[in-house]
Amino acid sequence: MEYRVLGKTGLKVSVVGFGGIPIQRVSAVEAHGIVNRALDLGINFFDTARGYTDSEEKLGAALKARRNEAVIATKSMARTGEAMAAEIKVSLKTMGLDYIDLYQLHNVKSQGELDKVLSPEGALAALIEAKKAGLVRHIGITGHIKEFLARILDLKEIETVQFPFNVVETGGVPELLQQAGARGTGVIVMKPMAGGALTRGNLALRYILEHDVTTAIPGMDSLRQVEENAGVGNALLPLTAAEREELAGEAETLGGAFCRRCEYCKPCNRQIDIPAVFLLDGYYTRYNLHEWARERYRSLGVGVEACIQCGECEERCPYNLPIRQMLAEAGTRLG
């Protein structure tokens, strides 16, 4: 397995890491075998989140027995210091750990959220205190809006950044990678296979790892997936011309008709959280997390049936997505 240094954290992590979303849909016994197989094949970076139902529990149950072999990352949507301090304690207890290698501010996506996170009583202050106490070794941030993340990387406390990047989603990536490199920020790539939309995982991962990133974290829920993905990092080869053409063809077939969660469509005048609906629909269609996605959809409060077909969201969408049609289709699955 090839390893790279995760920026100024100094941690050496496998170029192919382990994304913790799909592990939710397998049993604890299956998860144990999957995680151990990943470790056996050299994967040492594992990323999960408080919001991924039992993902922390399943990963922790396996990883705590081989703690010295793993770099463990999790994250929380908490924005206040009090809430973040509580989340850190829950993560440690749930995973059965004495410390967490990397704790990330999860999906900070607006100036208002950032202001709250950075306030004296904000989540970052709690993370800094947890780091001083040895409960958290390093601090990072995740998000989907690259232009916004670029404004956050100037914070000296932020040691890593995690964002989506794949052959279809490349906007803003070169600039963000350049900025991260200049500041010594470790780069974690989520959704290297476009949330499962790209079927040629080997090519998709190799494409990402040709760039100046530290690790890519495809989600995995089977031994086959672990072995295939680990194989990329164990024999990292540049794409051939034919493979580039094949990957480009798949990207072209996929087209632009999927939500990148840039949030330019917001706010909806009917209070529909459009990106959240598409995110949950992706979990439904690509990860087969049917009941989980439906439950989360119900918790949104306002469903797609509230849409009045005004079309304002489509006018604002930089990708010209047929949002009204996509919402209706998602509603048939999630409603």
Whether 257 has a pLDDT exceeding 90, the answer reads no
Q: In what order do the strands lie in the sheet with 45-47?
A: 18-19, 45-47, 71-76, 100-105, 136-142, 160-164, 186-190, 215-216
Whether 186 has a pLDDT exceeding 90, the answer reads yes
Whether 294 has a pLDDT exceeding 80, the answer reads yes
Annotate 78-130 with DSSP letters as a single string: --BHHHHHHHHHHHHHHHT-S-EEEEEE----SHHHHHHHHSTTBHHHHHHHH
Does the annotation mark 52 as catalytic? yes
Whether 264 has a pLDDT exceeding 80, the answer reads no
Token output for 72: 């463990």
Kindly report the average pLDDT of the chain as a whole number: 93
Q: Mind listing the pLDDT tens digit for each residue in 270-293?
A: 999 999 999 899 889 877 899 999
Neighbours of 145 (CB within 10 A): 19
- Name the E strands within 210-287: 215-216
- Give me the CATH topology for the region 3-247: TIM Barrel (3.20.20)
Facing residues of 104 across strands?
A: 75, 140
Q: How confident is the model at residue 259 (pLDDT cuts 50, 70, 90)?
A: confident
Which is more confident, 262 or 87? 87
Q: How far apart, in whole angstroms, are the C-alpha atoms of residue 117 and residue 112?
A: 9
Catalytic residue among 3, 52, 283, 297: 52
Q: How far apart, in whole angstroms, are the C-alpha atoms of residue 114 and residue 78?
A: 11
Domain ranges of the chain: 3-247, 274-334
pLDDT at res. 179: 96
Neighbours of 262 (CB within 10 A): 21
Report pTM: 0.85
Q: Mind listing the pLDDT tens digit for each residue in 115-163?
A: 999 999 999 999 999 999 999 999 999 998 888 898 889 899 999 999 9
Q: How far apart, in whole angstroms, are the C-alpha atoms of residue 3 and residue 10?
A: 12
CB 47 within 8 A of CB 188: yes
Using DSSP's 3-state secondary structure scheme, residue 19 falls into strand
Q: How far apart, in whole angstroms, are the C-alpha atoms of residue 42 and residue 101?
A: 18
